[in-house]
């Protein structure tokens, strides 16, 4: 296995652009890639541009009629078929939509292939993590589900146990749906409670189909959850289910929209807590998955202040060169931010909360605490199905 992680990057992924009024501004990808370079991390990884996912690969998850509908909308956006979730407010059709969506999917599939074959220990595609796309419909800013496609490609290559951990503020519904009946895939999602946030799924009682009971784990966090609660919930659930499942590969999704500055959700997590979970995912990959780690981006709509820093930390951790939280951000990058967005960029790689303290679950829980109730609900729903104590 090569000692260098791979960073999947093709400048053309910034063409994933729903228009100037849409919250998913592709400048977040360009600024992340630029910050990775400004901090010298691109010298610590192998930067790889994978090929777009072809139709046979897309069909590992998506229906052929849906792929045809995306192609048609891509060629003539005005004719997009809303019955496929295309041409909606969330997923407006745009010229070239199929091509760039397939390119992003190809980067995640390429990351999975590299890690499985031992070409790299870890691979990052921060343009990916488009976890809401369904087999037959676009949803929630997501056209093709690159995360599910990466998992499906691992299964095609011979993997028998793949774990997918999603810490986006929104439930990883599309990935869960793709593998709902497949006991070879463990999907774990920590997200804001479905009563208060799209897509209104991810209840703890969603545990997988009859033949795959216990293969879906959902931790539905109360709105307002901050650093200590978020980390407590992660560590109260994820390590135990991974230890029992024994994945051969760990695929993780790191939506940055859990942040307290994100405009589309209601958690109150800092950049420093996001970094702490990234570190934990890296450690869990080594502890339970032989070091094989595919890390993806996801949501995140504070496109200057949060997303570039969060995913640059992810790249550094995967590269084995973690960026210290107190690192001062190069002035050249901040000038680029202003030139592109007319916003002032952040000055350091921290929100000033590192290291982030939290109380371990093993120390006991408070039955009256809403966060602890959420953790208990997840553990009670799925742990016995996996032979674990709730």
Under 8 Å between Cβ of 162 and 185: yes
Torsion of CA 220, 224, 225, 227, to 10 degrees: 150
pLDDT in tens, 205-214: 999 999 999 9
pLDDT in tens, 121-146: 999 999 999 999 999 999 999 999 99
Lookup: tokens for 286: 């080594």
**CA 225 remoteness from chain centre:** 19
Identify the burial level of 136 via C-beta atoms within 10 angstroms of its C-beta, where 0-12 means exposed, 13-18 middle and 19 or more buried.
Answer: middle
DSSP assignment string, 22-38: SS--THHHHHHHHHHHH
Is the pLDDT at 245 greater than 90, yes or no? yes
Whole-model pTM: value is 0.98
Instruction: Grade residue 314 by pLDDT with cuts at 50, 70 and 90.
Output: very high
- The C-alpha R_g of the chain, in whole angstroms, comes to 19
pLDDT in tens, 142-173: 999 999 999 999 999 999 999 999 999 999 99
Q: What is the mean pLDDT of residues 367-375?
A: 98
DSSP assignment string, 253-272: E--STTBTT-TT---BB-HH
Strand order in the sheet with 249-253: 46-48, 6-8, 122-125, 293-296, 249-253, 162-166, 185-192, 216-221
For position 1, what pLDDT does the model report? Answer: 54
Instruction: Grade residue 2 by pLDDT with cuts at 50, 70 and 90.
Output: low
Instruction: Grade residue 79 by pLDDT with cuts at 50, 70 and 90.
Output: very high
**CA 167 remoteness from chain centre:** 7
Is the pLDDT at 291 greater than 90, yes or no? yes
pLDDT in tens, 22-34: 999 999 999 999 9
Q: What is the mean pLDDT of residues 347-353?
A: 98
What amino acid positions are annotated as catalytic residues?
A: 132
Lookup: tokens for 100: 């760039």
Q: How far apart are CA 134 and CA 147, in angstroms?
A: 11
SS3 118: coil
Is the pLDDT at 3 greater than 80, yes or no? no
Percent of the chain at pLDDT > 90 equals 99
- What is the rounded average pLDDT for all residues in the chain? 98
pLDDT in tens, 374-383: 999 999 999 9
2 or 331, higher pLDDT: 331
pLDDT in tens, 21-68: 999 999 999 999 999 999 999 999 999 999 999 999 999 999 999 999
For position 18, what pLDDT does the model report? Answer: 98
CA angle 53-56-61, nearest 5°? 80
Residues 6+ apart with CB under 8 A from 238: 165, 188, 190, 280, 284
pLDDT in tens, 190-223: 999 999 999 999 999 999 999 999 999 999 999 9
């Amino acid at each position: 296995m090569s000692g260098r992680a791979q960073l999947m990057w093709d400048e053309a992924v910034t063409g994933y652009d729903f228009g100037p009024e849409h919250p998913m501004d592709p400048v977040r990808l360009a600024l992340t890639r630029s910050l990775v370079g400004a901090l010298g991390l691109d010298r610590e990884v192998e930067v790889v541009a994978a090929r777009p996912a072809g139709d046979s690969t897309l069909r590992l998850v998506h229906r052929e009629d849906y792929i045809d509908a995306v192609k048609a909308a891509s060629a003539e956006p005005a004719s997009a078929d809303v019955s496929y979730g295309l041409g909606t407010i969330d997923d407006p059709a745009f010229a070239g939509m199929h091509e760039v969506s397939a390119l992003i999917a190809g980067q995640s599939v390429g990351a999975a292939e590299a890690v499985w074959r031992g070409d790299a220990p870890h691979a990052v595609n921060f343009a990916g993590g488009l976890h809401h796309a369904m087999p037959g419909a676009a949803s929630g800013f997501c056209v093709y589900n690159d995360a599910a496609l990466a998992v499906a490609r691992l299964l095609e290559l011979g993997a028998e146990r793949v774990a997918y951990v999603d810490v986006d503020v929104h439930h990883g519904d599309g990935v869960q749906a793709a593998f709902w009946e497949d006991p070879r895939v463990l999907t774990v999602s920590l997200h804001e409670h479905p009563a208060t946030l799209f897509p209104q799924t991810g209840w703890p009682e969603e545990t997988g189909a009859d033949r795959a009971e216990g293969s879906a784990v959902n931790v539905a966090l109360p709105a307002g959850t901050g650093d200590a609660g978020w980390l407590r919930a992660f560590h109260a659930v994820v390590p135990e289910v991974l230890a029992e499942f024994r994945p051969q590969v760990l695929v993780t999704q790191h939506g940055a929209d859990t942040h307290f500055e994100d405009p589309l959700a209601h958690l109150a997590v800092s950049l420093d807590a996001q970094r702490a979970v990234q570190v934990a995912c890296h450690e869990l990959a080594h502890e339970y998955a032989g070091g094989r780690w595919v890390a993806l981006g996801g949501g995140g709509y504070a496109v200057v202040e949060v997303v570039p820093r969060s995913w640059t930390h992810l790249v550094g951790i995967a590269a084995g060169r973690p960026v210290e939280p107190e690192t001062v951000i190069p002035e050249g990058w901040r000038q680029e931010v202003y030139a592109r967005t007319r916003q002032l960029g952040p000055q350091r790689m921290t929100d000033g909360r590192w290291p982030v303290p939290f109380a371990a679950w093993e120390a006991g829980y408070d039955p009256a605490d809403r966060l602890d109730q959420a953790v208990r609900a997840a553990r009670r729903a799925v742990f016995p199905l996996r032979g674990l104590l709730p």
